[in-house]
Structure 1
Amino acid sequence: MLTQSEIIAGIKTLDELCPIHKTNLIQLDRVVKIAGEEKPRKPSPFCPECIKEQNEKQEQEEVEKHLNAGIYQKTYNVFMRDSTIPEKLNDATFDNFIAETAEENKLLVFAQGQVDKYLDGMTGNTLITGSPGIGKSHLSIAIAKALNEGYRSKGEPKSVLFVNLTEKIKQIKEGWNYGKGASLTEFELVDQLKNVDFLILDDLGAKNAVVSPKSDWEQDLLFDVLNSRENTIINTNLNAAELKTVYNERNYSRILQGLEGNSFKSFTIKDKRYSINSLKAKIAQN
C-alpha cells in the first residue's frame, strides 16, 4: 500500500480540464492494483474539486442521517415505542375492519376521512361515541397508524400516541401504593400526553355499572392534558349526557373542542367483539 507522501509525489497534473470546475485533472502517474480488477493499471484522472465536493456531501449525509434518527426518536418512533395497544388489536388497520352494515361503513368512511383532514392541516378534536364492541378501538388504532405513516411519507414525521387513560391512571395509583416501585408518575404521564402531536385516547371514561363523576384529581389531570392540546382523538362508550356526568364542565368543553363535523355517534351498531384472528378468517372467506 502506498504511503500518503508516495501518492503525493506520484501525482501528475494533466492539461485536460474538469468540465464542471474548469480546473486541471490530476492522475496518479504509476501502475497500481485496483480493487476488483485483475490487472494493475494507472487510476483514472480525477478533479480534486469534485472529490472535495463528494467528500463534503458524504459528510453532510452522515450528519443528516444522525439528525433524522434523533427526529424519528421524538416523532415517528413514538407510536410503536410508547403506545399501549391491546395485543388482539396489534394488527388493526382500515383494511381489516369488516363493515357489514351501512352504518358500519359510514363509521369506517368517517375514520378514514379524519385522517385525510389532519394530513391536510386540520386542527381540532375527533370524537367517536358508541356502544361497546362496535370497533371504536380498532378504528382509532387504524387512524393512529395512518397518521403516523402519512406524515412520514410527507417528510414531516409527527408524534402519534395511542393510550387507554384508565389503564395509565391505574399505573399511577399503583405507584402511590408501592412508592419507589412506581412504573409511571403523574408528571411523566401528563408530560407525555401533552407533548405528542396526535393523542388518541381509547375508551375514555369507560362506563361501569354506575355512571358517576370522576374524582377531582382525575378531572384536573385530564384538564391539564386537554387544555394544552390541539389534536386529540377520543373514543368512548359514554353518550353526551353521560360524558357531562362523568366529566366537569371544563373537561367537557375541552372534549368538544373543534368537533363540528368531526364527531361520529352510533349506538345502533351491534357488538362486533372481533379479534384480528377472527377478522382474518372472515376476510379469507369473502
Structure 2
Amino acid sequence: MAEMKGLESLLNIQTGITMELTSEVCDNHPLRGDKPIHLMVIDGEKVCPVCEGEKRTEELAKKQENLLKVADRKTSYNVFQKKSVLTDIGLLETSFKNYEAVESEEIANKDKAVEVFRRYKGGEVFNTWFVGKPGVGKSHLSMSILRNLNEWGNQDQSCLFVSVDEMLLRIRNSFNDKESKYTEFYFVDLLSQVDYLVLDDLGAETGGTGTAKRATDFTMRVLYAIANGRQNKPSIITSNLSLVDLESMYDAKLVSRLMRDTCLIRFQNTVDKRIRNINF
C-alpha cells in the first residue's frame, strides 16, 4: 500500500490529476487473478481502473470502426472516377439538367430516367435498357442516373460506367501484355462486384447497326460471366440495336438474361443531338 501511495504521489505531481486509492472493491471486478480491484478516487470521482480501461478500449474500438466505415465509403465512392472506362470524357459533364428535352419523346424518356434513379435509390433491383439510334442521349441519361446514384445518401454505393467496346479491346490487349492489369478476370470481377453498372454501347464491338456479324466466342464468354455475376444487381445498358438485332448478334439466352426485369426506354423519333451546324 505504501508503494501505491508513492505511485499516486508521483502521478499527482506529473499529471496534476489527484488520485486516491480506496478500500472499496469493484462489484464488476471483485477479483483479478487472486487480488481484489479497489476503487480509486480520481479528481473527486470514484471509479474502477479496470472498468475505465475497458471503457476506453471500447471507445477506441468504436472510433476505429467508424474510421474504417468512412474509408470503405470513400473507396466505394471513388470507384466511379478511378475505374470507369469511357471513350467520351464529355459524358462526365452530363446531368439531367443539361439534357435538352424539347420533343414529347425526349421529355417522356427523360422523365423515365429520373424515375429509374428514384426507384434505384429506393432499393429496387431491375435492369434498364436505353435503345435507339446514335446521338439521341442514351449514354447521357444513363450517366446522369449513375452520377446521381454515386452522389446520393452516404455515398457508399459503388458505381461504374464501362464502354463495352473499349473494355473488350483492353482485355484483348492484355493477352500480349503480361504487365496489363486489364485482364478478363479483372473486368469480370470488377463489373460483377459494383452496386450499379452502366454497359455502354452494347453491340458496337461487332460493328453496330447494319452489320450481320455475330459476337465472337470471346465476347460472349465475357458478357455471360458479367451477366451471371450481376443477377441480383441493377445494370443499365445502352445499345443502338433492336431486340431482333441483339438476338441475331448474341445468344438468345444471354440477351434474355441481360433483359430480365427490364425497364425499356426506347428512342424512335428523337434526332441525333450531336449533329449541329456551326455558323461563323
Query: TM-score category by the smaller chain?
Result: 0.7 to 0.9
Kindly provide the CA deviation profile for residues 34-75 of structure 1, in whole angstroms up to 9, marking residues without a partner as x.
Answer: xxxxxxxxxxx77879x9899567624531343124422552
Could you tell me whether the CA contact under 8 Å between 1:171 and 1:183 is conserved in 2? no
Residue 11 in structure 1 maps to residue 18 in structure 2: yes
Q: In the aligned structure 1, how far is the partner of 2:107 from the partner of 2:183?
A: 40
Which contiguous aligned blocks of 4+ residues in structure 1 show a shift greater than 6 angstroms? 45-49, 51-54
Kindly provide the CA deviation profile for residues 227-276 of structure 1, in whole angstroms up to 9, marking residues without a partner as x.
Answer: 221311101111111111111111111121101xx11111210000289x
2:154 aligned counterpart, secondary structure: helix
2:211 aligned counterpart, secondary structure: coil
User: Where does residue 254 of structure 2 map in the other structure?
Assistant: 251
Q: In the aligned structure 2, how far is the partner of 1:138 from the partner of 1:173?
A: 27
Change (3 A) 1:169 1:56: same
Residue 126 in structure 1 maps to residue 125 in structure 2: no
Could you tell me whether the CA contact under 8 Å between 2:12 and 2:19 is conserved in 1? no
Residue 9 of structure 1, CA deviation: 7.2
User: Where does residue 164 of structure 2 map in the other structure?
Assistant: 165
User: Where does residue 188 of structure 1 map in the other structure?
Assistant: 186
Change (3 A) 1:8 1:227: closer
User: Where does residue 142 of structure 2 map in the other structure?
Assistant: 140
TM-score of the aligned structures, taking structure 1 as reference length: 0.74
User: Where does residue 99 of structure 1 map in the other structure?
Assistant: 101
User: Where does residue 204 of structure 1 map in the other structure?
Assistant: 202
The answer for unaligned runs of 5 or more in structure 2 is: 1-9, 21-38
Partner letter of residue 122 of structure 1? E
Q: In the aligned structure 2, how far is the partner of 1:73 from the partner of 1:46?
A: 41
User: Where does residue 227 of structure 1 map in the other structure?
Assistant: 228
User: Where does residue 241 of structure 2 map in the other structure?
Assistant: 238
Q: In the aligned structure 2, how far is the partner of 1:264 from the partner of 1:77?
A: 28
CA RMSD of aligned residues (A): 3.1
Partner letter of residue 107 of structure 1? N
User: Where does residue 272 of structure 2 map in the other structure?
Assistant: 271
User: Where does residue 111 of structure 1 map in the other structure?
Assistant: 113
Kindly provide the CA deviation profile for residues 131-184 of structure 1, in whole angstroms up to 9, marking residues without a partner as x.
Answer: 10011111111111111222526xxx22211101110100111122x3324341
TM-score of the aligned structures, taking structure 2 as reference length: 0.75
Change (3 A) 1:78 1:9: closer
1:128 aligned counterpart, secondary structure: strand
Partner letter of residue 224 of structure 1? A
Q: In the aligned structure 1, how far is the partner of 2:75 from the partner of 2:253?
A: 30
User: Where does residue 68 of structure 1 map in the other structure?
Assistant: 69
Kindly provide the CA deviation profile for residues 184-224 of structure 1, in whole angstroms up to 9, marking residues without a partner as x.
Answer: 11111111111112111011112155242101121121011
Q: How many residues align?
A: 243
Q: In the aligned structure 1, how far is the partner of 2:72 from the partner of 2:199?
A: 24
Partner letter of residue 101 of structure 2? A
Partner letter of residue 106 of structure 1? A
The answer for unaligned runs of 5 or more in structure 1 is: 14-22, 28-44, 279-286
Change (3 A) 1:151 1:9: closer
Q: In the aligned structure 1, how far is the partner of 2:71 from the partner of 2:85?
A: 22
2:198 aligned counterpart, secondary structure: strand
Residue 26 of structure 1, CA deviation: 5.1
Q: In the aligned structure 2, how far is the partner of 1:48 from the partner of 1:135?
A: 67
1:75 aligned counterpart, secondary structure: helix
Q: In the aligned structure 2, how far is the partner of 1:124 from the partner of 1:10?
A: 62
